[in-house]
Amino acid sequence: MARILVTGGAGYIGSHTVYFLRKRGHSVVVVDNLSRGDRANVPEGILRVVDLRDTARITSILKEERCEAVIHFAAYISVGESTKAPELYFANNVGGSSSLFEAMQQAGVNKLVFSSTAAAYGNPPRVPITEDQPIAPINPYGDSKVMVERMIELLDRYRGFRSIRLRYFNACGAEPEAGLGERHDPETHLIPLVLRAVLTGEPVTVFGEDYDTPDGTCIRDYIHVSDLAEAHIKAVEHLLYNGADAVFNVGTGLGHSVREVLSAVETVSGRKVPYVSGPRREGDPPRLVADSQKLQRTLAWKPVRADLERIIADAWQFARKLGT
C-alpha cells in the first residue's frame, strides 16, 4: 500500500476519496488551506494546513512524508465566481497547480491524478461526450482546468511525470455513515440546493424550462461522489503499478433533467419541492452526459451507485443531519 498526498482533502470530493483510500489500506497526508474546506472532514492527525502556493512547504511535506503519488483536488470551483473574478482562478487553480508541480519535481514525486472537469468541453457538439471531443471551455473556471491539463501534458512529456486526468461530470451524493457530504459555501450545485429548499421552504430556482430536451430543463450526468472516489483509487493504483498516462471522463452515461431531480427528491423526501422558474443561465448547455467507456475498459471501474434515487437518498440523509 502506498503513501499518498491529497490536496484539497478537506473539501467535498477530496474528503470522500481520503475516506476510501484509507479504507483500502493506503496511508494519506492531506494538504488544504481550509479556504473552502472543513477541518472536520479530515481524520485527526493527517491534515497539514498549507496553501498550495507555498512551494517550499509542499516540497518538505512530500519529502518528509515520503509520498509516492499525489491526488490533486485543491481548486476554486464556482463557475459564476470565475466569471466575476477570473484572476482568482488563474492565481489559485493555475498558480496553485504550478507550485505543486514544482514541489513534486523537487521532491522527486512524479505520479499525479488530477481533478479536471466536463467544463473542459464547453458546449459539446455530440452527446454522450467522449474524451476526443474538442476542448472548448466557455468560462474562466473551465479554462483554468484546461490550462492545468496542458501543463500536465507537458510535464509528462518533458519531465517524466506520470499522470491521469479525470474529467468529472456532476459530483453528487454523500457518505452519511462517514459523516461526509456536500456543503459548498456558497452552494451552487443543484441537488444540495433542492434539498435545502425542501428543508427550509425557501424556493429553489429552475433556470430555463424551454431547452430542446424532453421536459424543457437541462440534462446532466450525476455521478455519486463515492463512485468518483473509487475512480481516483483505481487511477492512482494504475500509476503506482506503472500504468500509462491517460485522460478519462468520469460519469454514469445516464442523463437526468432538472425536473427529474426535483421529482426524485419529492419521492425520497416525501415532501413537495418549492421552486420558482427563472431565465436560462448564460453558458448552460442543454445536455452534458459522459461517455466513460474508456475508463470502464482501462481501469475496470464501474459506477455502482448510479441510481438517481439512491444518490438523492444519501444526500438527503446527510442534509437532514446538517439541518439546512
Ligand X SMILES: NC(=O)c1ccc[n+]([C@@H]2O[C@H](COP(=O)([O-])OP(=O)(O)OC[C@H]3O[C@@H](n4cnc5c(N)ncnc54)[C@H](O)[C@@H]3O)[C@@H](O)[C@H]2O)c1
Please pick, from the candidates 4, 69, 77, 109, the single residue that binds ligand X as defined by CB under 6 A: 77
- Smallest distance, ligand X to C-beta of residue 129, A: 13
* Residue 257 touches ligand X, criterion: CB under 6 A: no
Q: What are phi and psi of 310, to 5 degrees?
A: -65, -45
Our answer to whether residue 241 is catalytic in this structure is: no
Handedness of CA 6, 7, 10, 15 (dihedral sign): negative
298: closest CA among 251, 221, 240, 231?
231
Nearer to ligand X, 13 or 194 (CB): 13
* Residue 170 touches ligand X, criterion: CB under 6 A: yes
Q: Which of 141, 168, 211, 222 is catalytic?
A: 141
* Residue 115 touches ligand X, criterion: CB under 6 A: yes
Bridge partner residues of 223 (DSSP): 171
Residues in the interface with ligand X (CB under 6 A) total: 27
Stretch 130-169 residues interacting with ligand X (CB under 6 A): 168
* Residue 117 touches ligand X, criterion: CB under 6 A: yes
DSSP string spanning 124-153?
-SSSSBPTTS-----SHHHHHHHHHHHHHH
Opening angle at CA 256, ends 252 and 262, nearest 5: 130
Please pick, from the candidates 55, 59, 82, 92, the single residue that binds ligand X as defined by CB under 6 A: 92
* Residue 36 touches ligand X, criterion: CB under 6 A: yes
Instruction: Centre a 10 Å sphere on the Cβ of residue 38 and count the other Cβ atoms it contains.
Output: 15
- Smallest distance, ligand X to C-beta of residue 80, A: 14
- Smallest distance, ligand X to C-beta of residue 149, A: 12
DSSP string spanning 287-301?
EE-B--HHHHHHH--
**Cα 106 from Cα 84, distance rounded (Å):** 35
Stretch 37-56 residues interacting with ligand X (CB under 6 A): 37, 51-53
Please pick, from the candidates 3, 34, 46, 86, the single residue that binds ligand X as defined by CB under 6 A: 34
Please pick, from the candidates 10, 69, 174, 308, the single residue that binds ligand X as defined by CB under 6 A: 10
- Smallest distance, ligand X to C-beta of residue 78, A: 9
- Smallest distance, ligand X to C-beta of residue 201, A: 26
Q: By the 8 A CB rule, do 109 and 70 touch?
A: yes
* Residue 96 touches ligand X, criterion: CB under 6 A: yes
Residue 180 C-alpha cell reads as 461526509
Opening angle at CA 11, ends 72 and 13, nearest 5: 65
* Residue 35 touches ligand X, criterion: CB under 6 A: yes
The DSSP 8-state label assigned to residue 51 in this structure reads -
Q: By the 8 A CB rule, do 261 and 308 touch?
A: yes
Under the rule (CB under 6 A), what is the footprint of ligand X?
8, 10-14, 32-37, 51-53, 73-75, 77, 92, 96, 115, 117, 168, 170-171, 184
Which positions are catalytic?
A: 141
